[in-house]
Amino acid sequence: SAISTGGSLRRPASTMSLRSTSSGIRRPSTPVSSLRNTSGSMISSRASSPNSSRPSSSLSSRSTRPVSSMSGLSSRSSTFNENIYSGTIMVSVRPRPLREQVKTSWMIDSDESTIYSPELGDFTFDSVFGNEVNNQDVYNTSVADIVNKTLDGFNGTVFAYGITGSGKTHSMQGSPSDPGIIPLAVTEIFNFINENSHIKNYSVKVSYLEIYNEKILDLLQPENSSTPQAFSSASNPSTNDLKIRDDPMTGVKVVGLSEEPVNSVDELLSVIERGHMSRKTGETEFNSRSSRSHAIVLIRICSIDILTKAETVSTLSLCDLAGSERAATQTARRKEGAYINKSLLALSTAIAKLSAASTSKTNSNVGHIPFRDSKLTRLLQPSLSGNSVISILCTVHLGEQSYSETVSTLRFAAKAKNITLNASKHE
Ligand code: ADP
Ligand code: MG
């Protein structure tokens, strides 16, 4: 295929993590050494796409790539990604780095937006990340625009979707040496607030909830709902999970969910850390619990213009979803699997229907979107109903043993990429 190198994307060199690229993942026609260098990321143009056997999942990488975010945080005041204005969802794919000896039939194109399998052809998204990117790179490319729009008064949602072990928590939380999307977003929020405190009075509140067995648990005040212990006990009916109500302002409201005011990055992160801890202490099998539950951090930003007194409230929702591995596997493992699937299944169904509504040429009645079928879709309904900005990070494992799961994750991602929120009119 005709591949030529184009402009440099000015990804800050300091944030590049120069892990070795696993050979075999890139298209063989592209020398790995030409893909990136230390001074920035090289992007290649693909004039023709000989392997585009699945155009349905493709959008032009030219028009969708969030170039404005590539130069880092300083891009805040410049034009935002066109995606966000046009109501489409930003969809990125992040493969977990493979060990050298692991076989894979997937390749990532040097345009950094196409993942390819010989069997299924191309899947093209806003970004497909290589091994060498770190969380800061993922944040800059796929999340910064969402956070900026939230600071502008829109509601923003970021969710990590993928099978257990594919890197959702790694991407959302990260580690001290490679902070994830949550701490990076929090840092950007407070940087912005501090820079603009002469124009507006800001207040920030944080909530942290978990959806487990279709019940909502307040991770900041576990005693307010059920304790995690009570949740894991099959004999406890756990009738006191938090309820969702319709709210004229926000669309939905979790009744009784605690909100903690925070004044700095450190304060906000320590509140979230407390939420992580209450999640951990509740379950000896933490990993199996976390793979079956959805963890959602809600950051509410309220601003009052000092001159006009105009008030703006917006929420940034950061979701680390339950593992997307198959229904059958989960149900066989534990009965709770069925509940998780209820939420994830409802999310997939909603995404599929929104996709159909958006791509339908006739604009005919595509049908009812079943937001009320699960806690997760009820919570996400305002995000999926327009006037809000969404980025979905799909994490995948490219080893052969995960092939079918990767295909289903990419199909979910492709449907999400089809959606135009403004265009889909639904209840
Ligand atoms: P999930 O939350 O999707 O179940 P994790 O984020 O816990 O998966 O990832 C599983 C393991 O793989 C962790 O040890 C994590 O540190 C590692 N891992 C995942 N993604 C990456 C990545 N992009 N780079 C380095 N390590 C990763
Ligand atoms: Mg996890």
Q: How far is the CA of 396 from the centre of ligand 2 (A)?
A: 13
Please count the helices (runs of H) and the strands (runs of E) in the chain: 14, 19
Helix (H) / strand (E) containing 414: helix 403-418
Is residue 395 lining ligand 1, measured as CB closer than 6 Å? yes
Nearest of 125, 94, 97 to residue 111 by alpha carbon: 125
Residue nearest to ligand 1 atom 17, measured at CA: 167
Beta-sheet strands, E only, within 213-310:
215-218, 244-247, 251-254, 260-262, 294-305
More confident residue, 233 or 88: 88
Q: How far is the CA of 323 from the centre of ligand 2 (A)?
A: 8
Percent of the chain with pLDDT over 90: 48
pLDDT digits (tens, 9 = 90+) for 40-84: 333 333 333 333 333 333 333 333 333 223 333 233 333 344 445
SS3 350: helix
Is residue 286 lining ligand 1, measured as CB closer than 6 Å? no
- Per-residue model confidence (pLDDT) at position 377: 93
pLDDT digits (tens, 9 = 90+) for 237-253: 343 589 999 888 777 89
Confidence of residue 99 (pLDDT cuts 50, 70, 90): confident
Residue nearest to ligand 1 atom 23, measured at CA: 96
CA 376 to chain CA mean position, Å? 14
pTM higher than 0.90 for the full model? no
- Per-residue model confidence (pLDDT) at position 27: 47
Is residue 11 lining ligand 1, measured as CB closer than 6 Å? no
- Per-residue model confidence (pLDDT) at position 382: 84
Ligand at shortest distance from the CA of 210:
2
Residue 417 confidence (pLDDT) above 50: yes
Q: How far is the CA of 172 from the centre of ligand 2 (A)?
A: 9
Q: Which atom of ligand 1 is nearest to the CA of 320?
A: 2
pLDDT digits (tens, 9 = 90+) for 171-196: 999 999 999 999 999 999 999 999 99
Q: How far apart are CA 105 and CA 259, in angstroms?
A: 46
Q: How far is the CA of 282 from the centre of ligand 1 (A)?
A: 22
Q: How far is the CA of 423 from the centre of ligand 1 (A)?
A: 35
**The token pair that represents 195 in the structure block:** 């820079």
pLDDT digits (tens, 9 = 90+) for 47-56: 333 333 333 3
Confidence of residue 362 (pLDDT cuts 50, 70, 90): low
Confidence of residue 393 (pLDDT cuts 50, 70, 90): very high
Mode of pairing for the β-strands spanning 114-117 and 36-37: unpaired
pLDDT digits (tens, 9 = 90+) for 287-342: 677 788 899 999 999 999 999 999 999 999 999 999 998 644 544 455 544 445 68
Tell me which of 19, 96, 285, 293 to substitute to probe ligand 1's pocket, judged by most ligand atoms within 8 Å of the beta carbon.
Answer: 96
Other CB atoms within a 10 A radius of the CB of residue 157 amount to 24
